[in-house]
Structure formats: structure tokens, C-alpha cells
Amino acid sequence: MSQLRMVWTVARAILTRPRLWGTALVQARRFAPDRWWRTAPFLPLPDRDLAGFRSETQYGDQAAMVTAEDLVVWLEWCRQERNRT
């Protein structure tokens, strides 16, 4: 999975949903590796192994790319869970 394609998918999915911006930032921070700013492309991208594992467990293929719809559903779930506590 191309990490830059993943960034584009994430951006497209949440740009028109301001209520998810905060949740997306929290989740991006949780998935970003430590000291991400020291490695090119200098973006808080998740580790390739983690992204591959997540893709394989959700779609059955490490190379599968998350869909915008699935991402929005997951972020909505994260938002609801955070608000429940």
C-alpha cells in the first residue's frame, strides 16, 4: 500500500467532515511512530508493518488500501467511544 495514497484517502475522507477532525488527529498521533519527524517523507505515517497488518486483518490482503467509507466508519466509532466515557 502506498503511504502517500493512504494520506490522500484519509484527507479526502475527513476534509468535508469537520466533526471528525479532532478524532482523526488523535488517531494519527496514536498510529505515528516515535520520532517520525526524523525520517523522510517527514510525515506522521504509520509503520509499514502495522499498516500491512491492519490491511490484512480487515481486507485479507496486506496490499489492500483502506477505503474512505471504512475510514469514516472507524473514525465515527472512535469518536463515539471517546464520548461514551
b/e 47-71 (16+ beta carbons within 10 angstroms → b): eeeebbebbeeeeeeeeeebeeeeb
Q: What is the pLDDT of residue 48?
A: 83
Domain count, the chain: 1
| φ/ψ (deg, to 5) at 43 | -125, 150
Q: What is the pLDDT of residue 77?
A: 95
Asked if residues 65 and 9 have their Cβ atoms less than 8 Å apart, the reply is yes
CA angle 64, 68, 69 (to 5 degrees): 105
**pLDDT tens-place values along the chain, 85 residues long:** 466 777 788 788 889 999 999 999 998 888 888 898 998 888 888 888 888 898 899 899 988 888 889 989 999 999 999 888 6
Query: 44: domain range?
Result: 3-84
